[in-house]
Amino acid sequence: AAPVMLSRFRGALVGSVLGDCIGGEFEGAVDVPLDRVLQHLSALEDETRGDGILQYSDDTAMMRCVSDSLLTRMPFDERDMARRFAKEYNLAPGRGYGSGVIQVLRKLASPHLKDVFQPAQAQFGGRGSFGNGGAMRAAPFALAYKSQADVCRYSRLGAMLTHSCSLGYNGAALQALAVHLSLQGALALPKEFINKLISEMEEMEKDETAQLDAKALNLSDFPYCSRLHRVKELMDRNSVSIEEVISELGNGIAALQSVPTAIFCVLHCLEPRDGLPERFGGLERTIAYSLALGGDTDTIACMAGAIAGAHYGIDSIPQSWQKSCEGVEEADDLARRLYDLYCLPQFEE
C-alpha cells in the first residue's frame, strides 16, 4: 500500500539526514567500489557501535535552519532564515561547509547588513555560486507549501541567500520540486515524473538571467532540461555503468552536476539492481547507489534520500540506519511539525 502523507513527510527529512550522514564517508572519493559501500552499510547493523555515530554535515545543519525558519515565519522571512544560517555556522563551523559559502555566512552574521541577498551576490567576482548548497537544504520547502508554484518560488528565494547564480538557485527549485512530486506519489509513474520536471524547468530556464548565466558558463541554453533529458535516456537503457552515469550527469559539487544525478539515483533504484542485496528496499538501494557514484556523496545521497524517503515513507528506513545517524530524531520531529502546518486550513489553496 502507498504510504500515508505523514509517513512520506517523515521519510523525506529522515531520508535526507541519512543520506548526508551515511554518504559523508565517501565525500570526495574518486572511485568507490560497491563492496566498500556494502561494507559501510553492513557496519550500520552492528549494535555495539553506539547511537548517532555518523555525524551530519552542512547539508543537514542548513536543512534544519530552513525547517525552523519556515515553521516559525511562514510563508517566508529571508532575514530570519539568513540569521539562522549565520548563527548555526557560528555555533558549529566545522560541519564541512563549502569554502566560498563561509564568506557569505560570516557577512550574514552582521547586525548592520541591510540586504540579506547582497553577500551571495558578491561571490565569485559577482557571478554568484553555482554550488549545490541551496539544493542540499531544499527539501523542507516541499513540505511547507501545497502549491507547486510556492514550492518553486520560495525554494529559489531560500537558495538565493547563499547562491545567486541561477544554476545554484534553479538547482534548489528542481530538488524541491522533485520532493514535492514524490510526496504526491508521482514516482508511481516514472516517465510522467521526469516529464513534469522537464516541463517545469523549461519555464524556469526561459528566464533571461538563466540564459545569460548558461552562456557565461559555456553551457547549453537550457542546462537543467538537457541533463534531465539525459536522465530520461539513461532510464530507457537496460544497463548503465557507474562510469556512464558520472560522465553523462556528473557527481560534483555544482548543482548542475548533482541534482539531476540524485534524481537519476532514485529513478534507477525503483527496481532491484544487480550488485545490490535483494533484501534491500528502494530507499536502501537509492542510498547505496548514490554512494557508489563517488564524488559529492553526502549531498547526492542527501538529495536522493529526501526524494526517495518521500516516496517510500518512514517505515521503509531500517531502524539500525536511523540509530546510526546523528540528528534523525530532530529531523523526524521537524517533519511532523511541518506536516501539522501543512494541514492547517489557512494554507489551503
Residue pair 104/174 in contact (Cβ under 8 Å)? The answer is no
Among 100, 190, 282, 318, binds ligand F2R (CB under 6 A): 100
> For residue 54, what are the β-bridge partners?
325
Among 40, 49, 127, 153, binds ligand F2R (CB under 6 A): 127
Residue pair 288/282 in contact (Cβ under 8 Å)? The answer is no
Residues 155-194 that bind ligand F2R (CB under 6 A): 165
Give the Cα separation of 169 and 176 in Å (integer).
Answer: 11
Residue 131 touches which member of Mg ion, ligand F2R, none, C-beta under 5-8 Å by kind: ligand F2R
Q: Which is nearer to Mg ion, 9 or 26 (CB)?
A: 26
11 to 50: interface string for ligand F2R, x by CB under 6 A: ----------------xx----------------------
Phi, psi at 29, each rounded to 5°: -75, 140
Q: Which whole-number Å values give the CA distances from 36 to 291, 294, 320, in the listed order? A: 10, 11, 18
Long-range CB contacts (within 8 A, 24+) of 75-79: 75/144, 75/145, 75/150, 75/154, 76/154, 76/157, 76/158, 78/116, 78/117, 78/157, 78/158, 78/161, 79/116
Residue 289 touches which member of Mg ion, ligand F2R, none, C-beta under 5-8 Å by kind: none
Question: Could you say whether residue 101 binds ligand F2R (CB under 6 A)?
Answer: yes
Q: Can you spell out the DSSP letters for 149-197?
A: HHHHHHHHHHHHTT--SHHHHHHHHHHHHHHHHHHTTGGGSHHHHHHHH
Among 46, 124, 212, 215, binds ligand F2R (CB under 6 A): 124
Shortest spacing between CB 318 and ligand F2R, in angstroms? 23
Chain positions contacting Mg ion, by CB under 5 A: 57-59, 96, 296, 298-299
- Cα torsion 118, 147, 133, 124: sign: negative
Residues 56-95 that bind ligand F2R (CB under 6 A): 57-59
Shortest spacing between CB 125 and Mg ion, in angstroms? 23
Q: Single out the residue of 256, 260, 223 nearest to residue 245, CA to CA.
A: 260
Among 7, 129, 170, 286, binds ligand F2R (CB under 6 A): 129
With contacts defined by CB under 6 A, how many residues of the chain interact with ligand F2R?
24
Shortest spacing between CB 315 and ligand F2R, in angstroms? 28
Among 96, 185, 281, 282, binds ligand F2R (CB under 6 A): 96
Shortest spacing between CB 201 and ligand F2R, in angstroms? 19
User: Environment class of residue 43 by beta-carbon count within 10 Å: exposed (0-12), middle (13-18) or buried (19+)?
Assistant: middle
Cell readout for 329 is 530524531
Cell readout for 40 is 559501510
Among 198, 253, 310, 325, binds ligand F2R (CB under 6 A): 253
Residue 130 touches which member of ligand F2R, Mg ion, none, C-beta under 5-8 Å by kind: ligand F2R
Give the Cα separation of 10 and 331 in Å (integer).
Answer: 8
Shortest spacing between CB 59 and ligand F2R, in angstroms? 5
Q: Which is nearer to Mg ion, 3 or 133 (CB)?
A: 133
Residue ranges that bind ligand F2R, judged by CB under 6 A: 27-28, 57-59, 96-101, 124, 127, 129-133, 136, 165, 253, 296, 298-299
